[in-house]
Amino acid sequence: MKVVEAIAEIMRREGVEYLIGYPVNHLLEYAARWDIRPVIVRQERVGLHMADAISRLSSGRKIGAFAMQHGPGSENAFGGVAQAYGESVPILVVPMGYARRIAHVHPNFNSAISMAPVTKSAEPVTTADEISNIMRRAFTRLRNGRGGPVLVEVPTDLINAEISGELDYTPVYRTRGGPDPADVTRAAAMLAAAKRPVIYAGQGVHYAEAWPQLRELAERLAAPVTTSLQGKSAFPEDHPLALGSGGRAIPKPVHHFLGAADLIFGIGCSFTETNFGVSMPAGKTIIHATLDAMDLNKDLPSDLGLIGDAGLTLEALNAEIEELLDGPREAEAVTAEIAGVREAWLAEWRPKLTSDEVPLSPYRVLSDLHETLDRDNTIITHDAGSPRDQISPFWQATTPLSYIGWGKTTQLGYGLGLAMGAKLACPDKLCVNVWGDAAIGFTGMDFETAVRERIPILSILFNNFSMAIELKVMPVSTEKFRSTDISGDYAAMARAFGGYGERVTEPAEIVPAIRRGIEQTQNGVPALLEFITAKEVEISSF
């Protein structure tokens, strides 16, 4: 058996269903022979984003995989690997490498060395007979501990080398670890004693599939719940205790209740300091429950740390709190307070959410989208910049993994690949990406991939012919040189690629256009709806 055959067979045994990539990497061909579907993209970064979504939407049980050629393919892929690293997403990355005799010769790009800072591990294949050990290490790292991309580089002079004997490989196991029981007891007592606790949930809740345990804790304590962007949909946002999710744009209930909290319990989160996350107010008691001890006291000092799987942590806390309390606390007062704050906040924003202005208000488009889609059967994601800030405060995610939130490194164009990967992982769901005319400039050519690879997603594009979020910081450049102006007829581009494209300019046509786009996806055709919008720069933040 050749090395390339062995890798394909190991991937098949590990349950890999799709290998995203760009030729020439011989693994793509051998994956097809082993009934793993190769999906060929127009640029490497988008392919990595697709693999990213596959891993996220299975809570890491199915691993997204990506393969590319050595040299330019690996160089172009760097950004996608770095994005997955920033978002802690497990992806198997298998680049070809230069032949071993020149792998370290300038200026050849050595993936194992160059990508080591943005991977959980990066290992080259050195001999054919080590392939089982190398792949076992890779999948063990992918399935255990904090998520992150794992890279296995296969030199061109080894890819067709023969291994000796039969392939000896058994799929790896997945482990979970829980926190110290003494720390759980302390945390439970602190939570039970708190007068105004708030729960802050991150994407660790998704990877642990700990959604019922999170809800149980919130209802026991009558504690409001907010999430990071990555954790959005971990708690149903139509629940009376839901505050919504916070990013660069923060709903007023999140701001209000965090400010009034006497204890904040972070579960499955890193509390990473970022412009695109929630800043915790000073002077609060913090309990930090995370899978990775490196997160503790990194950016936010905490009073108590719990290290372990979010599901095991929540189960242990629920058991302890059940012993401390006579039953679930009365929630009427806190839910009434949440509803009052939310309604006052929405009243301020309702003029934008219902606006009949032309060009269209992006908030009106998103409000109509929210009311038109079957959200329980939809997976939606945003892009960087204004679309993220416009959708995240107002979109109510009602079921787990129905919203792919992100934002620590915020690469423009990320959402398109996420939506395509989501559709591969969940073909029965409507998969939607919301992006702007800046983002489509980065990855828009890969809408052709959606058409060619028969991945019927719905793209919601806001076109205001401007880099609107930059207007405040580039006034002179804009006035003198029109530096923030951009343009394009993107609906025509979608049609030219063989998809469905429609440009919408009138408020009355928003909902009918959305329905036409959904119908096209149901017929197997990717659809792009281009909404001509105002240069909206205001965000919901406090």
Q: What is the mean pLDDT of residues 175-181?
A: 98
- Where b means 16+ CB within 10 Å and e means fewer, 362-392 reads bbbbbbbbbebbebeebbbbbbbbbbbbbbb
- For 126-164, the pLDDT digits (tens) are 999 999 999 999 999 999 999 999 999 999 999 999 999
What is d(CA 440, CA 358) in angstroms, rounded to the nearest whole number?
22
Tokens 């909902």 belong to residue? 511
- 542: confidence class by pLDDT, cuts 50, 70, 90: low
CATH placement of domain 3-155: 3.40.50.970
Domain boundaries, the chain: 3-155, 181-338, 354-532
Quick one: 354-532 is in which CATH superfamily?
Answer: Thiamin diphosphate (ThDP)-binding fold, Pyr/PP domains (3.40.50.970)
Report the top-level CATH class of 181-338. alpha beta
Of 145, 96, 103, nearest to 120 (Cα)?
145
| Same-fold call for 3-155 versus 181-338 | yes
Taking the CB of residue 89, how many other CB atoms lie within 10 A of it? 25
Name 151's bridge partners: 93, 122
- 253: confidence class by pLDDT, cuts 50, 70, 90: very high
- 227: confidence class by pLDDT, cuts 50, 70, 90: very high
pLDDT at residue 171 above 90?
Answer: yes
Q: What is the mean pLDDT of residues 233-239?
A: 98
State the pLDDT at residue 503. 98
Amino acid at site 370: H
Tokens 């892929």 belong to residue? 77
- For 71-81, the pLDDT digits (tens) are 999 999 999 99
Q: What is the DSSP letter of 343?
A: H
State the pLDDT at residue 285. 98
Measure Cα distances from 399 to 171, 406, 422 in Å: 31, 17, 15
- The pTM is what? 0.96
Report the percentage of the chain scoring pLDDT > 70: 99
Q: How is residue 52 written in tokens?
A: 């990213």
- For 446-476, the pLDDT digits (tens) are 999 999 999 999 999 999 988 877 888 899 9
Residues 6+ apart with CB under 8 A from 137: 121, 123
- For 198-223, the pLDDT digits (tens) are 999 999 999 999 999 999 999 999 99
